[in-house]
Amino acid sequence: MTDISFSPAEVQLPSGHFLGGRLVTGAEDIAVISPGNGEVIAGLPEAGENLVDEAVRLAAKVQQESGWSTCAPRDRARVLRRWADLVDQHRVGLARLETICSTRPIAETLAWDIPFLAEGIRFFAEYCDKTGGEVAATSSDLLGMTIHEPYGVTGAIAPWNFPLVMASWKVVPALAAGNGSVLKPSEMTPFSVVRLAELACEAGLPAGLFNVVQGTGPVTGEALCRHPLIGKLSFTGSTRTGIAVMKAAAESGPKPVTLELGGKSPQLVFGDIPSVEDVADRIFRAFTGNAGQVCVTGSRLIVHRSVAGQLTEALIRRCARPRAMAPWSGKAAWSPIISATQADRILKIVSDSQAAGAESLANCARMDNGNGGVFLSPGILSVSDTDCPAWQEEIFGPVLSVRVFDEEDEAFTLAQHPVYGLAAGVHTSNMGRVMRAIRTLKAGTVWVNRYGRSSDFVIPTGGYGGSGIGKDLGRQAFEANLRLKSVLMAAG
Q: Is 341 or 413 the residue whose CB approaches ligand NAD more closely?
A: 341
Q: Phi and psi for 251 in degrees, rounded to 5?
A: -75, -25
Candidates 40-48, 91-99, 211-219, 451-459; binding stretch for ligand NAD (CB under 6 A): 211-219
- 260 catalytically annotated: yes
Residue from the set 231, 263, 289, 292 that interacts with ligand NAD by CB under 6 A: 263
Q: Is 295 in the site for ligand NAD (CB under 6 A)?
A: yes
Helix 163-176 and helix 91-101, axial crossing angle in degrees, nearest 10? 120
Q: Is 164 in the site for ligand NAD (CB under 6 A)?
A: no
Q: Tell me how crowded residue 4 is: count the other CB atoms within 10 A of its CB.
A: 20
Cα 9 to Cα 466: distance, rounded to the nearest angstrom: 41
* C-alpha torsion sign, points 199, 203, 204, 210: negative
Residue among 295, 271, 270, 300 nearest 283 (CA):
300
CA-atom Rg of the chain in angstroms:
23
Candidates 48-56, 132-140, 172-180, 259-267; binding stretch for ligand NAD (CB under 6 A): 259-267
Candidates 90-98, 131-139, 155-163, 371-379; binding stretch for ligand NAD (CB under 6 A): 155-163
- The CB-of-30 to ligand NAD minimum distance in angstroms stands at 10
List 362's β-bridge partners, or say none. 380
Candidates 63-71, 90-98, 157-165, 364-372; binding stretch for ligand NAD (CB under 6 A): 157-165
Interface of this chain with ligand NAD, residues 363 to 422, rule: CB under 6 A: 394, 396, 422
Candidates 17-25, 79-87, 256-264, 447-455; binding stretch for ligand NAD (CB under 6 A): 256-264
Q: Is 236 or 353 the residue whose CB approaches ligand NAD more closely?
A: 236
Cα 189 to Cα 470: distance, rounded to the nearest angstrom: 25
- The CB-of-379 to ligand NAD minimum distance in angstroms stands at 19
Q: Which of 46, 187, 222, 260 is catalytic?
A: 260
Q: Which DSSP helix (H) or strand (E) runs through 411?
A: helix 408-415
Interface of this chain with ligand NAD, residues 26 to 55, rule: CB under 6 A: none
Q: Is 181 or 241 the residue whose CB approaches ligand NAD more closely?
A: 241
DSSP 125-160: HHHTTT----B----TTEEEEEEEEE-SEEEEE--S
Cα 236 to Cα 241: distance, rounded to the nearest angstrom: 9
Q: Is 157 in the site for ligand NAD (CB under 6 A)?
A: yes
Interface of this chain with ligand NAD, residues 436 to 455, rule: CB under 6 A: none
Strand, coil or helix: what is 358?
Answer: coil
Q: Is 353 in the site for ligand NAD (CB under 6 A)?
A: no
- The CB-of-452 to ligand NAD minimum distance in angstroms stands at 13
Q: Is 64 or 238 the residue whose CB approaches ligand NAD more closely?
A: 238
Cα 165 to Cα 147: distance, rounded to the nearest angstrom: 30
Interface mask toward ligand NAD for 214-233; x: CB under 6 A: --xxx--xx--x--------
- The CB-of-64 to ligand NAD minimum distance in angstroms stands at 26
The three-point CA angle 339-109-216 to 5° equals 40
Residue from the set 47, 128, 166, 388 that interacts with ligand NAD by CB under 6 A: 166
Q: What is the DSSP letter of 292?
A: G
List 183's β-bridge partners, or say none. 156, 212
Residue from the set 111, 229, 244, 448 that interacts with ligand NAD by CB under 6 A: 244
Phi-psi domain of 465 (left: phi exceeds 0; alpha: psi -120 through 50; beta: other): left
- The CB-of-394 to ligand NAD minimum distance in angstroms stands at 6
Q: Phi and psi for 152 in degrees, rounded to 5?
A: 120, -90
Candidates 50-58, 260-268, 301-309, 323-331; binding stretch for ligand NAD (CB under 6 A): 260-268
Amino acid letter, residue 271:
G
Q: Is 148 or 453 the residue whose CB approaches ligand NAD more closely?
A: 453
* Start-end of H helices in 128-271: 163-176, 192-203, 222-226, 239-251
Instruction: Check: CB of residue 259 under 8 Å from CB of residue 294.
Output: no
Cα 211 to Cα 201: distance, rounded to the nearest angstrom: 10
Number of residues that bind ligand NAD (CB under 6 A): 31
Interface mask toward ligand NAD for 168-187; x: CB under 6 A: ----------------x-xx
Catalytic residues: 260
For binding to ligand NAD (CB under 6 A), which residues are involved? Answer: 157-161, 166, 184, 186-187, 216-218, 221-222, 225, 236-238, 241, 244-245, 260-263, 295, 394, 396, 422, 463, 468
